Amino acid sequence: MSVALGTTRPLPVRTTPVGDPGDLLASLPRSAPYAWIRHGEGLVGWGEAARVAVPPGPHRFAWAREWLADILGEAHVDDAVNTPGSGPVAFGSFTFDESSPGSVLTVPQAILARRGGRAWLTTIGDTPLETFTPIRDPGHISYGDGSLTAPEWEHVVARAAARIRDGELEKVVLARDLLATAEHPIDIRLLLTRLAHRYPDCYTFSVAGLVGATPELLIRRTGQEIESLVLAGTTPRGSSAADDLARGAALFASEKDRHEHECAIASVRQTLAPLCASLHTPDEPELLVLPNVQHLASHVVGRLADGASVLDVVAAMHPTAAVGGTPTATAIDVIRELEGMDRAGYAGPVGWIDAHGDGEWGIALRSGLISGRRARLFAGGGIMGNSDPASELAEAQAKFRVMQYALEG
């Protein structure tokens, strides 16, 4: 555990209203930036007032909740804004696999936020804040195979599809990685700026070196109200407007993709129903059109029954069928056996939580782990019994393009 201001005394926290800060990302210093941005709104943070490595294991979310209660619950807070995301906030990233190390929670030293026409600044302690430094381009980017080559991954997809046809499971989500090396150290702020501008409908995030723009909102809690956006079923964008429309129509009519989406919705419904006094899931998905792909999407809304925090709901929901498979436990075993890599934070929960239990958490898709000049990019897709390995590879390649754009511009 690393706690910059110590756990023996409460964190001194002050939140004050500020004028419109403009581009939130433009305020970030170079080192350790934290971000959660959509359509120009959200939170950015820098510095570390408190940070902890969450131990792996089946009780990691409960452990994290207790740590947060100690750190945030005992803070001395002067909050003149009093809205979700004001006061002390922790940014977090949890690994996809509960047995993998790498989950982390951080309370930044400074948080700048904007939502609904209001903006505020939260500071913790009296240590001087870092100043802005110019953003540097990473220069030339070269790529190399990750854990598996493309043909090896296609073989894994074929093996998984055969096991589904044999009745072992209904669906499994398989991911692959791609390694990128830059000419100069990679400035996370440049990636965030490019992602936020090109993919404004996604949630652009940065937590402990995990950077990306995910279209998938795992859960948002505002008071007792919760919301989730379920994505399952994907097709690349077309080469023309007519091709684009045809691809969207084919996706909506696809038996394979509709079944994949129904599995994901059923998983979310089954998980959230025990936590909610009311829950609504749509009868039909809609098309979510992004710059690189189209998804089948469903908005799920509900009201919590017992005052659970957003992290409690995250613990109940992860992993969803959209990133694991159906049945989930069997799918996770197949992923561990066939995928040939540790996903780290990819497809795991990423987001923020405040002292009142409000927050927003997404699934870390379209993302990469950044360290110095190197980046490890991730992409994947849902495999069904009739999945074509070449088509699944093409879908993953389309998803890689999000982070490749962030690196190359």
Query: Would you call 399 a catalytic residue per the annotation?
Result: no
Name residue 125's amino acid: G
Q: Is the pLDDT score of 2 beyond 90? A: no
Mean pLDDT of 10-20: 94
210: nearest Cα among 59, 36, 71, 394: 36
68: nearest Cα among 306, 350, 352: 352
Element (H, E) at 296: strand 293-304
Mean pLDDT across the chain: 93
Catalytic residue among 154, 170, 171, 260: 171
Q: What is the pTM of this model?
A: 0.92
Mean pLDDT of 254-267: 89
As a whole-number percent, the residues of the chain with pLDDT over 70 amount to 97
pLDDT in tens, 262-300: 988 988 899 999 999 999 999 999 999 988 889 999 999
pLDDT value of residue 406? 98
Query: Would you call 130 a catalytic residue per the annotation?
Result: no
d(CA 382, CA 344): 18
Domains of the chain, CATH where assigned: 12-126+137-408 (3.60.120.10)
Q: Is the pLDDT score of 4 beyond 60? A: no
In this structure, is the dihedral angle defined by the CA atoms of residues 259, 94, 188 and 116, taken in order, positive or negative? positive
131: nearest Cα among 30, 257, 253: 30
Catalytic residue among 48, 170, 216, 395: 216
Element (H, E) at 337: helix 328-338
Element (H, E) at 258: helix 255-272
